[in-house]
């Protein structure tokens, strides 16, 4: 096709698009979209989210679905980049005709894709977007993941509870990781607010494995507390090298280190690291107990935070749908109307999830009641360990 012909074809397409507007209806089973990273290096997190969503699907469908109508999750992979997230969202909105979307995995992807959903008036619930400014993208954007600024300070308070003598803090962070950079800002503000002195701020890359220069510069300032924001491999190595260099004080790890994948990296040196948590597998509540049992039966370990958050996101949408359905039957109704009503219902409700009781403010920011701090306890084999939740 010649470029000019193509241009005319596109112009015709736009014209056609505006003339034939067909109103879509909500199908049975009701379609809910889940778009997280199932491929790329972000898939390490995305896979945990897929599991959480799948558990929620069978769990709530076996308990009546949406007032007797079953619902179905549509998974569309976002990959790790912004364009992939937008393509996945477009497929969810226009092809799968979903009532709402859970996703995407990364905050940077959310800044690109959420705008698309907001324009199409489709509610989005972020399961793991923690950067500042996500709910402010639009009226249809909310999240179940508490922002860094709320979660991170808990571990600093816990450290001061264990050792009230702490005065000097050394901060380390991975400067090429979006989450770590925003998290370290929160850690530094919290430390200052608690009257601590930040003696040094050391930067590294998530791809580094040798931290000699950062460790010696950091320890030269004689810190009594070290705060590390990074990912599992680099953070684990940094902690190991800090301990090998003779550091004896407390270490706080950021959320990127909040995974058992770090244990084989820092081995016995992981022991005692404090990490704040938005989720605790041992949290009270019958729903969390049921969720934990299902997960443990299949995967033989404790459910991670990402899985619990994805479960909670699906749960919020299902419970909000139940309320919309009570007012007027959802199945068979106009899709556009249901999406708007569902968005209002999501923001209006209070939900008893595995994360504890959560609700939303009018912008879509989550209000989570409970946070936890866990301390790593390594087993004698130095390869496995567990998170022990502090009271």
Residues at the contact surface with another protein, assessed by CB under 8 A: 3, 6-7, 10, 13-14, 16-18, 20-22, 38-39, 76-77, 79, 81-84, 86-87, 90-91, 93-95, 107-108, 111-112, 115-116, 119-120, 131-133, 137, 175-182
CA–CA dist 273, 25 (Å, integer) = 52
Minimum Å distance from CB 184 to another protein?
Answer: 10
Cβ 15 to another protein shortest distance, Å: 9
Distance in Å, CB of 292 to another protein, minimum: 27
Q: Give least dist CB 90 to another protein, A.
A: 5
Q: Which is nearer to another protein, 61 or 97 (CB)?
A: 97
Q: Kindly tell me which of 16 and 284 has the beta carbon lying closer to another protein.
A: 16
Residues whose CB is less than 8 angstroms from the CB of residue 142 and which lie 6 or more positions away in sequence, other chains included: 123, 124, 125, 126, 135, 346, 347, 360, 364, 365, 366
Q: Which is nearer to another protein, 75 or 269 (CB)?
A: 75
Return d(Cα 310, Cα 125) in angstroms, integer: 9
Instruction: Specify the residue, 6 or 192, whose C-beta has the smaller distance to another protein.
Output: 6
Q: Rg of the chain's alpha carbons, rounded to an integer? A: 23
Query: Shortest distance, CB of residue 112 to another protein, whole angstroms?
Result: 5
What is the spatial distance between Cα 24 and Cα 20, in angstroms, rounded to a whole number? Answer: 12
Task: In angstroms, give the least distance from the CB of 46 to another protein.
Answer: 11
Residues pairing with 174 in the sheet:
204
Q: Of the two residues 67 and 175, which places its CB atom closer to another protein in the complex?
A: 175
User: What's the order of all strands across the beta sheet hosting 366-368?
Assistant: 350-353, 356-360, 366-368
Q: Which is nearer to another protein, 243 or 339 (CB)?
A: 339
- The residues, any chain, with a CB within 8 Å of residue 284's CB and separated by 6 or more, are none
Give the ranges where 95-231 is alpha helix by DSSP (H): 107-119, 148-151, 153-162, 178-193, 212-219
């Amino acid at each position: 096709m010649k470029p000019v012909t193509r241009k005319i074809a596109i112009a015709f397409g736009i014209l056609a698009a505006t003339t034939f507007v067909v109103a879509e209806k909500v199908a049975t089973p009701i379609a809910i979209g889940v778009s997280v990273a199932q491929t790329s290096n972000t898939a390490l997190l995305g896979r945990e989210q897929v599991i959480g969503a799948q558990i929620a699907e069978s769990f709530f469908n076996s308990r009546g679905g949406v007032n007797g109508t079953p619902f179905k999750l549509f998974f569309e992979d976002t990959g790790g980049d912004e364009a992939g997230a937008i393509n996945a969202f477009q497929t969810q909105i226009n092809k799968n005709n979903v009532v709402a979307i859970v996703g995407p995995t990364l905050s940077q992807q959310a800044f690109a894709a959420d705008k698309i959903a907001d324009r199409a008036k489709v509610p989005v619930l972020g399961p793991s977007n923690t950067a500042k400014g996500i709910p402010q993208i639009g009226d249809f954007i909310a999240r179940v993941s508490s922002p860094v600024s709320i979660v991170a300070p808990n571990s600093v308070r816990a450290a001061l509870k264990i050792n009230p003598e702490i005065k000097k803090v050394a901060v380390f962070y991975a400067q090429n990781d979006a989450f770590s950079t925003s998290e370290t800002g929160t850690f530094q503000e919290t430390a200052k607010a608690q009257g601590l002195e930040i003696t040094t701020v050391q930067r590294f890359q998530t791809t580094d494995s040798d931290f000699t220069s950062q460790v010696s510069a950091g320890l030269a300032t004689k810190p009594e507390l070290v705060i590390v924001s990074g990912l599992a491999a680099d953070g684990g190595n940094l902690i190991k090298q800090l301990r090998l260099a003779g550091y004896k004080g407390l270490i706080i790890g950021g959320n990127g280190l909040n995974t058992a994948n770090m244990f084989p990296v820092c081995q016995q040196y992981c022991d005692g690291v404090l990490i704040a948590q938005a989720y605790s597998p041992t949290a009270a509540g019958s729903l969390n107990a049921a969720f934990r049992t299902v997960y443990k039966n299949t995967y033989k370990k404790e459910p991670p935070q990402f899985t619990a958050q994805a479960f909670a996101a699906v749960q919020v949408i299902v419970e909000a749908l139940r309320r919309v359905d009570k007012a007027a039957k959802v199945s068979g109704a106009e899709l556009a109307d249901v999406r708007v009503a569902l968005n209002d219902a999501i923001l209006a409700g209070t939900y008893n999830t595995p994360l504890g009781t959560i609700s939303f403010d009018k912008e879509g920011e989550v209000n989570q009641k409970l946070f936890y701090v866990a301390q790593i306890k390594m087993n004698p084999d130095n390869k496995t360990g567990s998170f022990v939740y502090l009271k």
